[in-house]
Chain A
Amino acid sequence: MTNMPQKNLYLPEIATVREVIQETPNIKTFRVVLDNEDAMNAFTFEPGQVGQLSVFGVGESTFVINSPPTRMDYLQFSVMRVGELTTKLHQLSAGDKVGVRAPLGNWFPYESMKGKNIVFIGGGIGMAPLRTLLLFMLDNRADYGDISLLYGARSPQDMAFQYELPEWLEREDLNTVLTIDNPCEGWEHTVGLIPNVLLEMEPGAKDTVAVTCGPPIMIKFTLQALKKLGFEDSQIVTTLEKRMKCGVGICGRCNIGTKYVCVDGPVFTAAELGDLPNEL
């Protein structure tokens, strides 16, 4: 056995689940705190960065830290149940232990967005990374111009973060539009697919940055809608999802040509995506 110098890239911090929130039938949110108090106090990250969340004995997987760095009481991860690890995560409750390797990857270019209007367009679980930046901007509200949010889900029960939607709807410094795909009894908001609703909202492209995240099909048509509205590729920011293991650009899994999503991403502008080989 050799003593390991410096930081071990693969060694997670042990963390305790403080709270579990059932967001939708298949999405749960985990609020976790690093057990090492000094590590928790020293922990810093940027909005949009991701982390490897692990259940020891099952494995680890990548999720965005969807709480903002301006609210460091806990680190929040929202997890859709799709496989073995996410199923195990969904079985956890407050007090259970997890592993956290974070922060990893790049982040939203919030510095260059200062002074601009921002349009957030989130679909389904794609709202998670947007939530980080949205809350960060609301906590630094004076730095930004008009902020709009278009958040869509298939149905009302598929809509995450319901506990904070009323506040978002009420805020005068935030223009929130919620939409679902099909009419539903009791739904008081918009009905329609995100790209169509976006075209109806008609946000101006001038001095504006659009930040979008959601299923690939939604992104595809949202990009088309944004272009119709006059947005240039450099004004559109999104995040990419890839299967990752190491999270530090070594294991060779998430590359698109010379770019590694785990270190060069997950945040890219549409202009940057246009320069990548077509392997999304």
Chain B
Amino acid sequence: MTSKYIPADRLTAWLDELAASNRVLVPVRDNAAVAFQPYTGGDQELVLDTQATTPPKGSVFPASEPLMTFEYRKDEENPGKVDVAVQPTMEAAPTVVFGCRPCDARGFTIFDRVYNTDGMRDHYYAARRKNTSFVSLVCKETASSCFCHWVGEGPADTRGSDVLATPVGQGYVLEPITEQGKALVESKTLDNATQEQLDATAQVKQDARDSLGDAVDVSEAQEALLRLFDDMEFWQDVSAKCISCGACTYLCPTCYCFNITDESCGNQGFRIRSWDNCMSYLFTLEGSGHNPRPTKAHRLKNRVGHKFSYYPGLHEGLIACCGCGRCIKSCPVSVDIREIVLRAMETATAETKAS
């Protein structure tokens, strides 16, 4: 597929074009954070030189969404009899997410194996996933919290992205990855990329990858975490700082747990799905009062275990983490998932040698 080029000063013309038939989400400043919000036109200042504080997770998996409405209706002829009518609801407008990072888009490929398979299809997710395209921006610079190379290909990973945009000169080379992406770059606003621009693209990708340094092999983590399952001393130690705030889960492009609750007003209301947080005590509290994960050590064990052991155990070794580093960058007490995984592998190896 032919790569295109757009000078930065023509970007809004292309976004205007996309916005004519799509909801377009772009990273903009939101107080102290950078978040994805609807594109409103050229006056908006896009923040493209840094990773957004929050991933575009809500574009496909909203923080809160109605699954259905319900309404209790009295039978006019028999007022004692009350029926209930339920109506599914779904919003799945065609959407383009512009300016996320390749790790952000890749997060949805982790979701796909759970939410959108031939055996199990979450229609709300599947409809939005189908209708959402990602134009991901290759990282020109990486952060110390980035570790996409530990868990995937690196800062130019194409998985999950429809178009890969690489900053080159005073603009961007747009490389369509999927058919959806090809359709997005079929625009008169865009020029075909020159060989020189393509060469520069390859160099930017290589430089970004090099800046991350050597990758750490975390393939042993799957077994190590299971081996340490009962070692609560280990888990208490690595979770000592954690304050169970849950920021790591809400900011994670691959965290997909949810809750379902009802909200009503008078005779009608909504059944709502909302993001949930496995670091919360209430997450697994049973009606009987029993809680299989009673301490933050148990809960952090499940969070790290799910990403680096249980999910890979079910999905051909694929790690349920895209290495975006937001959980590290935004943790108020500097819990670092990389340190936990490394320590788990070291501890399990040391225990094996000792035995």
Is B229 touching A278 in the complex (CB atoms < 8 A)?
Answer: yes
Q: A8-B123, A10-B271, A252-B306 are in contact. Are A257 and B81 (CB under 8 A)?
A: no
Q: A2-B127, A4-B88, A10-B67 are in contact. Are A251 and B290 (CB under 8 A)?
A: no
The segment out of B10-18, B42-50, B114-122 that lies at the interface is B114-122
The 8 A CB mask of A211-253 against B (1 = contact, 0 = none) is 0000110000000000000000000000001110110111111
Taking the complex as formed, is A91 at the interface, i.e. its CB lies under 8 A from any CB of chain B? no
B70 touches which of A1, A57, A80, A216 (Cβ 8 Å)? A57
Q: Give the CA-CA distance A120 to B80 in the complex, in Å.
A: 43
B226 touches which of A96, A97, A257 (Cβ 8 Å)? A257
Residue of A nearest to B130 (CB): A2
Interface residues on A, range: 35 or more
Is A252 touching B256 in the complex (CB atoms < 8 A)?
Answer: yes
The segment out of B141-149, B154-162, B258-266 that lies at the interface is B258-266
Within the complex, the shortest CB–CB distance from B216 to chain A, in Å, comes to 23
List B residues 276-318 near A (Cβ within 8 Å): 276, 278, 283-290, 292-293, 298, 302, 305-306, 309-310, 313-314
The 8 A CB mask of B42-74 against A (1 = contact, 0 = none) is 000000000000000000000000011010100
Residue of B nearest to A57 (CB): B264
Is B285 touching A258 in the complex (CB atoms < 8 A)?
Answer: no
Is B90 touching A2 in the complex (CB atoms < 8 A)?
Answer: yes
Taking the complex as formed, is B273 at the interface, i.e. its CB lies under 8 A from any CB of chain A? yes
Residue of A nearest to B71 (CB): A56
The 8 A CB mask of B238-259 against A (1 = contact, 0 = none) is 0000000000000000001111
Taking the complex as formed, is A142 at the interface, i.e. its CB lies under 8 A from any CB of chain B? no
The 8 A CB mask of A237-280 against B (1 = contact, 0 = none) is 00001110110111111111110000000000000000001111
Interface residues on B, range: 35 or more
Contacting residues, chain A, for B257 (C-beta < 8 A) = 251-253
A11 touches which of B68, B127, B258 (Cβ 8 Å)? B68
Is B88 touching A8 in the complex (CB atoms < 8 A)?
Answer: yes
Is B306 touching A97 in the complex (CB atoms < 8 A)?
Answer: no
Contacting residues, chain B, for A241 (C-beta < 8 A) = 286, 288, 290
Within the complex, the shortest CB–CB distance from A178 to chain B, in Å, comes to 23
Taking the complex as formed, is A117 at the interface, i.e. its CB lies under 8 A from any CB of chain B? no
B123 touches which of A5, A83, A97, A243 (Cβ 8 Å)? A5
Q: A10-B68, A278-B230 are in contact. Are A4 and B90 (CB under 8 A)?
A: yes
Contacting residues, chain A, for B8 (C-beta < 8 A) = none
Contacting residues, chain A, for B289 (C-beta < 8 A) = 82
Q: Give the CA-CA distance A12 to B70 in the complex, in Å.
A: 11
Is A243 touching B271 in the complex (CB atoms < 8 A)?
Answer: no
Is B88 touching A82 in the complex (CB atoms < 8 A)?
Answer: no
List B residues 99-150 near A (Cβ within 8 Å): 114-115, 120-124, 127
Residue of A nearest to B267 (CB): A57
Taking the complex as formed, is A6 at the interface, i.e. its CB lies under 8 A from any CB of chain B? yes
Q: Give the CA-CA distance A82 to B259 in the complex, in Å.
A: 19
Taking the complex as formed, is A14 at the interface, i.e. its CB lies under 8 A from any CB of chain B? yes
A253 touches which of B70, B88, B89, B276 (Cβ 8 Å)? B276
Q: Give the CA-CA distance A1 to B81 in the complex, in Å.
A: 31
A58 touches which of B120, B262, B273 (Cβ 8 Å)? B262
Q: Give the CA-CA distance A131 to B149 in the complex, in Å.
A: 53
Taking the complex as formed, is B84 at the interface, i.e. its CB lies under 8 A from any CB of chain A? yes
Contacting residues, chain B, for A243 (C-beta < 8 A) = 283-287
Residue of A nearest to B258 (CB): A251
Contacting residues, chain B, for A248 (C-beta < 8 A) = 120
Taking the complex as formed, is B91 at the interface, i.e. its CB lies under 8 A from any CB of chain A? yes
Q: Give the CA-CA distance A4 to B91 in the complex, in Å.
A: 11
Taking the complex as formed, is B202 at the interface, i.e. its CB lies under 8 A from any CB of chain A? no
List B residues 165-211 near A (Cβ within 8 Å): none
Is A258 touching B314 in the complex (CB atoms < 8 A)?
Answer: yes
Q: Give the CA-CA distance A279 to B72 in the complex, in Å.
A: 41
Q: Give the CA-CA distance A254 to B310 in the complex, in Å.
A: 13
Taking the complex as formed, is A155 at the interface, i.e. its CB lies under 8 A from any CB of chain B? no
Contacting residues, chain A, for B269 (C-beta < 8 A) = 56-57
Q: A241-B286, A251-B258 are in contact. Are A1 and B229 (CB under 8 A)?
A: no
Taking the complex as formed, is B333 at the interface, i.e. its CB lies under 8 A from any CB of chain A? no
Within the complex, the shortest CB–CB distance from A85 to chain B, in Å, comes to 8
Q: Give the CA-CA distance A218 to B285 in the complex, in Å.
A: 20
Residue of A nearest to B111 (CB): A250
Is A56 touching B84 in the complex (CB atoms < 8 A)?
Answer: yes
Taking the complex as formed, is B77 at the interface, i.e. its CB lies under 8 A from any CB of chain A? no
B229 touches which of A56, A61, A253, A257 (Cβ 8 Å)? A257
Within the complex, the shortest CB–CB distance from B174 to chain A, in Å, comes to 29
A59 touches which of B123, B127, B256, B260 (Cβ 8 Å)? B260
B287 touches which of A54, A83, A252, A279 (Cβ 8 Å)? A83
Taking the complex as formed, is A42 at the interface, i.e. its CB lies under 8 A from any CB of chain B? no
Residue of B nearest to A245 (CB): B260
Give 15 CB contacts A-B under 8 Å: A2-B92, A4-B127, A10-B68, A54-B262, A57-B70, A61-B287, A82-B288, A86-B287, A97-B72, A243-B284, A243-B286, A251-B276, A256-B292, A257-B309, A277-B230
Apart from A1-B90, A11-B88: 15 A-B pairs, beta carbons within 8 A = A56-B70, A56-B271, A59-B262, A80-B287, A82-B288, A95-B81, A97-B72, A245-B258, A245-B260, A250-B256, A251-B276, A252-B306, A254-B284, A257-B313, A277-B226
